[in-house]
């Protein structure tokens, strides 16, 4: 098994005066199984199969340990607000009681303001869950890949049945008057075979407050579909540009597309709030159903054990995890980029791309993103559009 990168292994030293940034987002894997069989899933279909040996649901004991560790971290760093993401697998499989217990235990343990978000495939969402989420103030994000044809290509049940109709029924419930305020947004995995504008409009019909367009997880050793090493073609960048131009031409548009908003903010001198782009320190940590503390589970797409830390909520503080080189290397910004990225003109906006997408079995994570050509094309296009807009305003 490859070793996780260390700062010394990269020849990287943190800058003088550097101090770790505390965790502000805690991803709770409350259920490790799923009721769908999506062919592109990084948890079940890629290198890491550790879910097989983990309990289906997180235990009340490990929830209590986690709540105490979160409270300890909040006190140590004087944090006034944190976010907890209820995740899986499929978190709705955990059931009403376990969800309620998790929220109550964490809120009772800490004086910080705790916002809860659940990311779900939406199939099991029903009025009972929505009433619970309304009572507990849990916001809900749902995965939807476009219209019926686009969504059902990958997001199917184990028997091959598509789930679009079920997800739409759930979205109609979530967006009805009693519950719309709980709607966190839509997550869509990009497939260049789908028409980009039609995909966007299929999502926009539900008036989501935000859309996350996600690049399929892959790396230099296991390239994503259509991403050929050495090719100058940019199928993902072109796809996103079509949506950007359609979205940007409608300035009154209510929908926030996170990737575009983050790129624009970075181009204007701001900092990023997502791992997708930019160089801001990563402040996210994962608690698995067995109580293991891990890095982002997206790293599971690289190789088995890539997200593991060897630490557990019953014995280790989050500050101990924060001190690990594998976390530190994701917090020191430009100092952790490879030479090729550091010499790139869009390095501060791109940030090398998502960390997991940089992996190679030969050189670890010290590489540019496998999506480098697509990111360069997309960011350059957005930069040109934004700069033209600013120049136009100055010329008035």
Indicate the pLDDT class of residue 4, thresholds 50, 70 and 90. very low
Q: What is the pLDDT of residues 267-314, one digit of tens each?
A: 999 999 989 999 999 999 999 999 999 998 889 888 888 899 999 999
User: Which pLDDT belongs to residue 42?
Assistant: 62
Q: Within its chain, how far is the Cα of 277 from the centroid?
A: 11
User: Which pLDDT belongs to residue 392?
Assistant: 65
Q: What is the pLDDT of residues 248-263, one digit of tens each?
A: 988 666 799 999 999 9
What is the number of helices (H) and of strands (E) in the chain? 13, 10
3-state SS assignment for residue 68: helix
Alpha-carbon distance 48 to 189, whole Å?
20
Q: What is the mean pLDDT of the chain?
A: 91
User: Which pLDDT belongs to residue 48?
Assistant: 65
- Beta strand 25-29 with 284-287 is parallel
The answer to whether residue 366 scores a pLDDT higher than 60 is yes
Q: Which among 90, 132, 107 is positioned nearest to 26, based on CA atoms?
A: 107
Average pLDDT over residues 171-184: 97
End-to-end CA distance of the chain: 60
Q: What is the pLDDT of residues 114-124, one digit of tens each?
A: 999 999 999 99
Q: Which domains does the chain have, with CATH numbers?
A: 25-394 (3.20.20.70)
Bridge partner list, 286: 27, 294
Alpha-carbon distance 340 to 189, whole Å?
28
Q: pTM for the full model?
A: 0.92
Q: What is the pLDDT of residues 203-227, one digit of tens each?
A: 999 999 999 999 999 999 999 988 8
Torsion sign (Cα): 268, 269, 270, 272: positive
Alpha-carbon distance 196 to 193, whole Å?
9
């Amino acid at each position: 098994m490859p070793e996780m990168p260390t700062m010394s292994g990269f020849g990287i030293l943190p800058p003088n005066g550097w101090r770790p940034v505390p965790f502000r987002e805690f991803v709770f894997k409350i259920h490790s199984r799923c009721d769908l069989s999506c062919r592109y899933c990084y948890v079940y279909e890629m290198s890491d199969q550790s879910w097989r040996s983990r309990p289906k649901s997180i235990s009340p004991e490990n929830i209590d340990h986690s709540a105490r560790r979160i409270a300890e971290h909040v006190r140590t760093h004087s944090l006034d607000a944190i976010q907890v993401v209820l995740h899986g697998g499929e978190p709705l499989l955990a059931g009403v009681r376990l969800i309620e217990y998790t929220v109550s235990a964490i809120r009772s343990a800490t004086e910080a303001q705790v916002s809860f978000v659940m990311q779900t495939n939406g199939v099991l969402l029903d009025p009972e869950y929505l009433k619970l989420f309304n009572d507990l103030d849990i916001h809900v994000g749902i995965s939807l890949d476009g219209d019926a044809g686009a969504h059902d290509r990958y997001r199917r049940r184990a028997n091959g049945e598509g789930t679009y109709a079920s997800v739409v029924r759930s979205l109609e419930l979530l967006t009805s008057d009693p519950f719309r305020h709980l709607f966190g947004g839509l997550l869509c995995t990009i497939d260049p075979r789908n028409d980009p504008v039609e995909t966007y409009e299929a999502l926009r019909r539900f008036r989501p407050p935000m859309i996350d367009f996600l690049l399929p997880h892959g790396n230099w050793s296991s390239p994503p579909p259509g991403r050929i090493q050495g090719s100058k073609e940019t199928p993902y960048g072109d796809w996103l540009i079509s949506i950007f131009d359609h979205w940007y031409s409608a300035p009154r548009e209510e929908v926030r597309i996170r990737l575009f908003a983050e790129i624009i903010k970075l181009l204007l001198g701001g900092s990023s709030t997502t791992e997708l782009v930019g160089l801001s320190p990563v402040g996210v940590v994962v608690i698995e159903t067995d109580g293991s503390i891990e890095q982002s589970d997206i790293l599971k797409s690289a190789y088995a054990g890539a997200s593991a830390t060897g630490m557990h909520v019953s014995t280790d503080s989050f500050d101990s995890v924060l001190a690990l080189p594998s976390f530190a290397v994701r917090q020191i910004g430009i100092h952790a980029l490879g030479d090729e990225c550091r010499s790139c003109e869009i390095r501060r906006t791109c940030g090398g791309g998502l960390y997991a997408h940089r992996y190679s079995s030969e050189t670890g994570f010290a590489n540019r993103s496998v999506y480098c050509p697509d990111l360069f094309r997309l960011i350059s296009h957005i930069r040109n559009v934004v700069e033209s807009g600013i120049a136009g305003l100055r010329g008035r």
